[in-house]
Chains A and B, each alone.
Chain A
Amino acid sequence: MTQSTTLTVNGARVSETIEPRTHLADFLREKLNLTATHIGCEHGVCGACTILVDGQPVRSCLTYAVSCEGAEVVTIEGLEHDPLMAKLREAFSRHHGLQCGYCTPGMLATAYDLATRIPDADEARVRLELAGNLCRCTGYAGIVAAILDVLAQGPHVSAFTSQWRECAEPGALAPVLSHGATTTVQSAPALLPSSDSVDLTGGTKITRSVTIHADADLVWKILSDPWQVAKCFPGAAVSQVSGNRVDGALTVSAGPIRTSFAGRAEVLYDAATRTGEIRGIGDDRGGRSRAQGMMVFAVAPAAEGASQLTVDITYKLTGPLAQFGRPAIISAITSGLLAEFARNVAILAAGKEKLKTSLMRQVWYTLTAFLQPRR
């Protein structure tokens, strides 16, 4: 999967055939041998890879080279004979603005932008603007002093005109942005708060209640069949049922993240009271994270032929995933999952074959694994 891309690098026109996944820093270093651009964290935090694209500082690790078609890219190499960069270099040297030098190209690119964009920056502002460039040697004192020194020699002019991506005229925007009569635009009313009652003693506990638009007997019938439950529960799959033991898996995702848990649960039913209990444990692929949990559920008749499903969940997470196990997230997602489960049970109870496609699919957070212990 390659693509041809043409851009200007340090004044020279460059045309290369590359994989779209090649980010600009790799493109510069690996294809063009321009190794002054340093790669640190590769996810936009450290600032070492900061360079100028169309006159503005950008993270070259978060900028794919193919997205720079026609752009003007300038690296530290391209600023060798630039008068402002010469002053910055000299000041960094004089004020001890570097030790190991790893952050320096990014610092200089940021400083170049700072010196031309905010000529009256004081020390506080300089420090603020440097927040996105990490230095672990100098304690920043030398860097800040060097930049203030250069600012005092100003004003400075950037050698590169900032080429902001063109903003369209209203005429061009109207077809896309004017849909929906503007008169219907109102501020939305304030949301009601969630009535979460989460108890954090020991394991984390969540209580939820949903109305299912189906008769309580029908709902109970579905709930007492693990195969049917899996059909209704987003992401759940049952592989084997023997006695009250259920084996299976749960695929969960949050935004673009997706993972799968496999496990086993014991299910106890009490048909007389229409209550049940699931107790289980599951591991993710590679066994790095583990979810353990218990769910007590009860079905009761409600008004107009509907029924009320109440669940009490207690769960515990260990392993790498545990660091994402923030109760607030799980609490919100549980509501979403149960709402969809309720909808699906109602549809199944009504005898309709096709279950609603999961709108909430994006909502499942990795940690909702506890909802399907040992499936």
Chain B
Amino acid sequence: MKPAPFAYQAVPSAKDARAYLASPDAKAIAGGQSLGPMLNLRLARPALLVDIARTRDLRGVLEDGDVVTYGAAVTHADIEDGRVPDATPGWLRNAARHIAYRAVRNRGTIGGSLAHADPAADWVNIMTALGAMVLISGPHGDRSISMEQFILGPYATALAAGELISGVRVLRRSAKAQWGYAKFCRKEGDFAQASAAVLIDPERGEQRIVLGAIERAPACIPDPEAFLSGRLSADDVVAQILPERDEASRALHAAMLEQAHAMAFGGAVK
């Protein structure tokens, strides 16, 4: 299908984006790889699209000591190809490579992925597992909130009217940190039906395990130690966190958790 009519404005800076986003029924678009299908299917009918894909101050990465801030309009391909630094020992680059398809990654952006908040999206789950902060720029100034606070549910975020994601801030992780991320897709590039991420960072004393693609905000498990020490099996963890899902789905999530765990402990990285 073709989209319903909309007005279009490309903007050169985040400030200009904010000015246009103040108008009613305006929607920011970056790569348009998630919003595009919704527009084409006429499920979304904004009056105005504010194109931030070429917004200069949202395209790039700011490194400040231990903190790396990715501009919202950085594409998946920018990360995949290493055109921007990776805050981790290659984890982001590897994950980017498996987001949808190359033609999608060339336009799709990290900020757009978070704003769309599809529960199956890679960055939604990975950034939650990394404890990332979302930078938000809006009519009442700038703020930053954690991923847990940012994702409210399927397609739902803490972005208020007129607000825009300016970037996402992640802590650097050294080679001493362990990481695994696994997702189950019917075919490469398809939406994940189950995903899991495991982070163990001894330097920061952080352990985080996230179950994703669950059609609500990613679930951080409350006691990662219980699983990591072997006291609880992956099946136990999934049964505890996702009691509402059917057996087949729980089995998929448990398998992904095991896979992510194995990867964190030296298993082959896909």
Residues of chain A with a CB closer than 8 A to B35's CB: 256
B171 touches A185 (CB 8 A): yes
User: B-facing mask of A169-200, CB < 8 A → 1, else 0?
Assistant: 11011111111101001111011111011101
- Residues of chain B lying within 8 A (CB to CB) of residue A100: none
Cβ of B244 and Cβ of A180 under 8 Å apart? no
Task: Decide yes or no whether B92 CB sits under 8 A from chain A.
Answer: no
- Assess the B153–A165 pair: CB atoms within 8 A: no
Instruction: Tell me the complex Cα distance, A185–B153, Å.
Output: 24
Q: Which of B69-77, B227-235, B256-264 touches A?
A: B69-77
Residue among A53, A58, A193, A196 facing the most chain B CB atoms (10 A cut-off)? A193
Measured between alpha carbons, how far is A215 from B41 in the docked complex, in Å?
47
A255 in the interface, Cβ–Cβ < 8 Å? Answer: yes
Q: How far is the CB of B141 from chain A (nearest CB, A)?
A: 8
| Docked pose: A26 CA to B1 CA in angstroms | 11
Q: Determine whether the beta carbon of B59 is less than 8 Å from that of A166.
A: yes
Whether A44 lies near B33 (C-beta < 8 A) is yes
Interface status of B166 (Cβ within 8 A of chain A): yes
Whether the Cβ atoms of B38 and A256 lie closer than 8 Å is yes
B176 within 8 A of partner (CB):
no
Range of interface residues on chain A? 35 or more
Which residue from A44, A47, A58, A191 sits with its C-beta under 8 Å from B106? Answer: A58
Closest 10 CB pairs of A and B: A132-B101, A187-B131, A255-B155, A188-B146, A256-B44, A20-B8, A332-B216, A43-B37, A62-B36, A131-B188
Seed contacts A57-B106, A165-B75, A179-B166; 8 additional CB < 8 Å A-B pairs? A62-B32, A62-B37, A63-B32, A170-B60, A177-B71, A328-B216, A332-B217, A333-B154
Which of B's residues lie within 8 Å of A, judged by CB? 1-8, 10, 14, 27, 29, 32-33, 35-41, 43-46, 49, 51, 53-54, 56-67, 69, 71, 73-75, 77-78, 83-84, 100-104, 106-107, 116-117, 130-131, 133, 135, 137, 142-144, 146-149, 152-157, 160, 166-167, 169, 171, 187-189, 204, 206, 208-209, 214-217, 219-222, 224, 240-246
